[in-house]
Amino acid sequence: MTRVSFPDDFLWGTAAASYQIEGAWDEDGKGESIWDRFTHTSSKIKHGDTGDVACDHYHRFQEDVALMRELKFKAYRFSISWPRIMPQGKGKVNQKGLDFYSRLVDALLDSGITPLVTLYHWDLPQALQEKDGWANRDIARWFGDYASITARHLGNRVKLWTTMNEPQIFSTLGYLIGEHAPGIIDPLKYFPVSHHINLAHAEGVVAIRAESSTAQVGTVLQLPPIYPRTDSEQDQRAARIMDGLLNRWYAEPVLIGSYPEDMLEILKPLNLPIEEGDLERIHQPLDFVGLNCYTRIFVHHDKNVPMLEAMIDLEHRLPDARYTAMGWEIYPPALYESLMRFKNEWGDPPVYVTENGAAFDDEVVNGEVDDQPRIDYLKGYLREVRRALDEGIKVKGYFLWSFMDNFEWAFGYTKRFGIVHIDLNTQKRTPKKSALWYRELSENGGFEL
């Protein structure tokens, strides 16, 4: 048997996000978020599901942290709900919201679990959406204030901070495709939105550093490798453009201080609201980058898409490939390929894999969940992390998505990503076989193939 081993100080954790697990959507002074509004009013969520209760983590966090401890996980990535801290998005602070996260952080530290905080995992205060949300340049300042208050409160105990979760996903799905909150379909708004996200990231970094001298600060990007559907020149160009739109547009300003030239050229007619000094501001030095990785993407030429002439092949299926319950191709090299880009293109920062995992149609049989396909998936992707380490990529840790089954955005509760199973009627937590396998890995720093 071959053993795959990792460095002793490698951080093994799991990840989750506020809206997907907390519930308690209007408790203890929390304000409404765009996801509260979206799930309550749009018809775009499977079965009309909402995060009103979710995994009830807000009330059960002690139990959840105790389970993490039992499972020997060393770290936990969670996000903070902005409207829990600032119900109107700015101005008045909700002490009870801060206290919740404070108790969560204490529970983690008491259990020897390192917290990694994400400030924005998509639940914008609805009150800010009324002011045009990410389309308003002022949001950079609002985000900076929110970051500052949160870091002031938790910065003496939390060392690992990230600003955004997957900018390109929440901006495209929220403002271009309309499948996520706030459900807007407006290509003209999309690009200002993207720039404001990058600006807000910078304000967040500066604010966290000002409040905590020990903070290590980064952001979380998803950088799916993008493949042309065919070898044709047109498809290859389309793939490059899509990489520019989804990946380089968010990685490059933050990591190397410039927007990609080819994209600026294509987008010239839009007169993007990039002001003098913006890029210098966005290019804050980072202590690390978080990488989320699930799969790769295929793209083809489509002359009907204005300016870009590129389209994602959502239905692309390869005859020999395997797919998860999301319909995402299981393609472990995606993780290696994305990691390598940091070294080859973007200054070689330390990296945490902040999300990786898979949804399968798990079932509880006799009180157990045998999710061998998930273990196989994880082994495949983790071998690629090992391969990247061998190439000198500074990978510091790995956060499995997700600790428990939860609200999977537009898919509601129909997709199970957890290594802990949740019975949505009783809230009973049952570690799946993969959780026990991951416990071994976290304890021993390696696994047998």
Q: Are 223 and 255 in contact (CB under 8 A)?
A: no
Q: Nearest distance from residue 308's CB to ligand FCB, in Å? A: 22
The Cα–Cα gap between 78 and 60 comes to 15
Task: Kindly state the tokens that stand for 365.
Answer: 């049989």
- Pick the catalytic residue from 203, 252, 337, 355: 355
Q: Does 165 bind ligand FCB (CB under 6 A)?
A: yes
Q: What whole-number distance in Å separates Cα of residue 126 and Cα of residue 149? A: 19
Piece in contact with ligand FCB (CB under 6 A), picked from 30-38, 91-99, 164-172, 436-444: 164-172
Give me the amino acid identity at 56.
D
Which amino acid is residue 252, in one-letter code? E
Of residues 317 through 376, those in contact with ligand FCB by CB under 6 A are 355
Closest approach, Cβ 193 to ligand FCB, in A, equals: 17
Choose one: 93-101, 163-171, 202-210, 271-279; the region binding ligand FCB (CB under 6 A): 163-171
Tell me how far apart the alpha carbons of residues 36 and 42 are, in angstroms, rounded to a whole number: 10
- How far apart, in whole angstroms, are the C-alpha atoms of residue 289 and residue 345? 14
By beta-carbon proximity to ligand FCB, the closer residue of 166 and 211 is: 166
Q: Which of residues 32, 49, 56, 166 is near ligand FCB by CB under 6 A?
A: 166
Output 126 or 354, the one with its CB closest to ligand FCB. 354
What secondary structure letter does DSSP report for 47? G
Stretch near ligand FCB under the rule CB under 6 A, chosen from 165-173, 178-186, 223-231, 308-316 = 165-173
Query: Quick one: which of 21, 71, 140, 169 contacts ligand FCB (CB under 6 A)?
Result: 169
Q: Is 19 in the site for ligand FCB (CB under 6 A)?
A: no
Among 55, 98, 408, 437, binds ligand FCB (CB under 6 A): 408
Main-chain phi, psi angles of 186, to 5 degrees: -155, 90
Q: How far is CA 17 from CA 75, 199, 233, 284, 435, in A?
A: 14, 22, 40, 25, 18
**Tally: H helices and E strands in the chain:** 16, 15
Per-residue binding string, ligand FCB, 387-406, x by CB under 6 A, is --------------x-----
**What minimum distance in Å lies between the beta carbon of 355 and ligand FCB?**
6
The distance of Cα 389 from the centroid of its chain, to the nearest Å, equals 22
Note whether 250 binds ligand FCB by CB under 6 A: no
Residue 430 and residue 423 in contact, taking contact as beta carbons nearer than 8 Å: yes
Buried/exposed code over 231-265 (b: 16+ C-beta within 10 A; e: otherwise): eeebbbbbbbbbbbbbbbbbbbbbbeeebbeebee
35 or 73: CB nearest ligand FCB: 35
- Shorter beta-carbon distance to ligand FCB: residue 211 or 243: 243
Say if residue 442 is exposed, middle or buried (CB neighbours under 10 Å; 0-12, 13-18, 19+): buried
Among 10, 11, 13, 17, binds ligand FCB (CB under 6 A): 17
Could you tell me the smallest distance in angstroms from the CB atom of residue 340 to ligand FCB?
21
**In contact, 389 and 6? CB cutoff 8 Å:** yes
| Candidate residues 100, 175, 417, 447; the one interacting with ligand FCB per rule CB under 6 A | 417
Could you say which residues in the range 279-298 bind ligand FCB, by CB under 6 A? 292
Looking at residue 125, the DSSP 8-state letter turns out to be B
Selected from 409, 413, 438, 447, the binder of ligand FCB by CB under 6 A is 409
Is 32 considered catalytic here? no
Catalytic residue among 22, 166, 337, 408: 166
Q: How far is the CB of 79 from ligand FCB (least distance, A)?
A: 9
Q: How many residues bind ligand FCB (CB under 6 A)?
A: 12
Residue 146: CB minimum distance to ligand FCB, A: 19
Query: What is the smallest separation between the CB atom of 366 and ligand FCB, expressed in angstroms?
Result: 28
Q: Give the torsion sign (CA, 34, 35, 36, 38).
A: positive
φ/ψ (deg, to 5) at 438 = -70, -30
Supply the residues annotated as catalytic. Answer: 166, 355
Residues near ligand FCB, by CB under 6 A: 17, 20, 165-166, 169, 222, 292, 355, 401, 408-409, 417
